[in-house]
């Protein structure tokens, strides 16, 4: 049987109540500006100071860049769609948004893994740290993260572009993602859902478990350290663990479905597309003396006077 593929989708969005759409658009706009300014401030601070020479901050600069890119894939359309009546997106635009969201999101996941590995080496193998975490090794880890994310995203796209979409064309979400699109396909997608849950969902769980185990090992190792070293390591690892929890838990609930509740999926997606990137700059700066000192040097009054 031949299907006539639809050429555009309608995004039903995050909120259906018309009375609150405009206030929510303003709130999300402010959040988006805060995400951009906060993460770009971290990125420019690290690149403009000596912190960029340290592997932990080298990875943090890329994490901040990924936060900006990831949120920018979703937030602008979310904000504008709250202000218009009919939220359409072309088929190619939908596939492109899904690809970039998965690409930047997966890259962020792999960079979080690299950051955990960096902390493990720094605390558990301090004598070999400089050799193991050389600048070349850091670049290799970032490139591996990008390549792994590209392969993951390409797989999602290849699944979607071969499916027939003959109607309906309403996506019950605020951005194009794999599960909402599978629900609209004019064919049986149960096997594909199992494959996606097995790959994306289980991979998210295994990565999360591996990260938790690594931090448990790190924390157990710190018992033999001095109180000052233990305090500094706890502060650093505490920031990492907080970010991992904020990003991974909603992601797992989204890609390992417990029930057919799309509204819950939208709320969970809001956590890793908007809320986590919003709080990441605060988490990594408020309890980090090195970052605060670097920000004072890079953004202090003397710098502003030099630029005038």
At residue 210, the pLDDT reads 84
Cα 119 from Cα 125, distance rounded (Å)? 10
The mean predicted confidence, pLDDT, of the chain is: 85
Distances (CA, A) of 255 to 108, 248, 271, 303, 306: 16, 10, 14, 46, 50
Contact indicator for 215, 241 with CB cutoff of 8 Å: yes
Give the model's pLDDT for residue 61.
Answer: 94
Note the pLDDT tens digit of each residue in 186-222. 888 888 888 888 777 777 888 888 888 888 887 787 7
Question: Dihedral sign, CA of 39, 255, 176, 114?
Answer: positive
Dump pLDDT digits (tens) for 87-118: 889 999 999 999 999 999 999 999 999 988 99
Tens of pLDDT, residues 136-186: 999 999 999 999 999 999 999 999 998 888 878 898 889 999 888 988 988
- Bridge partners of 11, per DSSP, are 171
* pLDDT exceeds cutoff 50 at 1: no
The torsion angles phi and psi of 90, rounded to 5 degrees, stand at -65, 160
pLDDT tens per residue, range 5-28:
788 899 988 888 888 889 999 999
Decide which of 278 and 238 is more confident.
Answer: 278
What is the pTM for the complete model shown?
A: 0.88
Rounded distance between C-alpha atoms, residue 212 and residue 223, angstroms: 17
């Amino acid at each position: 049987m031949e299907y006539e593929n639809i050429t555009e989708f309608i995004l039903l969005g995050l909120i259906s109540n018309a009375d609150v759409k405009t206030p929510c658009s303003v709130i999300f706009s402010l959040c988006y500006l805060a995400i951009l300014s906060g993460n770009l401030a971290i990125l420019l601070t690290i690149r403009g100071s000596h912190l960029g020479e340290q592997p932990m901050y080298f990875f943090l600069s890329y994490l901040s860049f990924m936060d900006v890119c990831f949120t920018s894939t979703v937030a602008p359309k979310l904000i504008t769609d709250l202000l218009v009546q009919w939220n359409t997106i072309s088929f190619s635009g939908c596939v492109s948004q899904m690809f970039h969201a998965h690409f930047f999101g997966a890259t962020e996941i792999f960079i979080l893994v690299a950051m955990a590995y960096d902390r493990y080496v720094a605390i558990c193998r301090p004598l070999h740290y400089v050799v193991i975490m050389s600048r070349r090794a850091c670049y290799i880890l970032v490139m591996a993260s990008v390549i792994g994310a590209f392969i993951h995203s390409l797989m999602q796209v290849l699944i979607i572009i071969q499916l027939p979409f003959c109607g309906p064309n309403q996506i019950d979400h605020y951005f194009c993602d794999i599960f909402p699109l599978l629900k609209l396909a004019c064919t049986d997608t149960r096997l594909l859902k199992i494959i996606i849950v097995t790959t994306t969902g289980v991979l998210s769980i295994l990565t999360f478990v591996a990260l938790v185990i690594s931090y448990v090992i790190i924390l157990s190792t710190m018992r033999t350290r001095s109180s000052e070293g233990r305090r500094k390591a706890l502060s650093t690892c505490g920031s990492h663990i907080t970010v991992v929890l904020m990003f991974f838990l909603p992601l797992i609930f989204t890609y390992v479905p417990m029930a057919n509740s799309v509204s819950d999926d939208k709320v969970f997606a809001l956590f890793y597309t908007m809320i986590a990137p919003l709080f990441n700059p605060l988490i990594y700066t408020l309890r980090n003396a090195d970052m605060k000192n670097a920000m004072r040097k890079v953004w202090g009054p003397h710098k502003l006077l030099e630029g005038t």
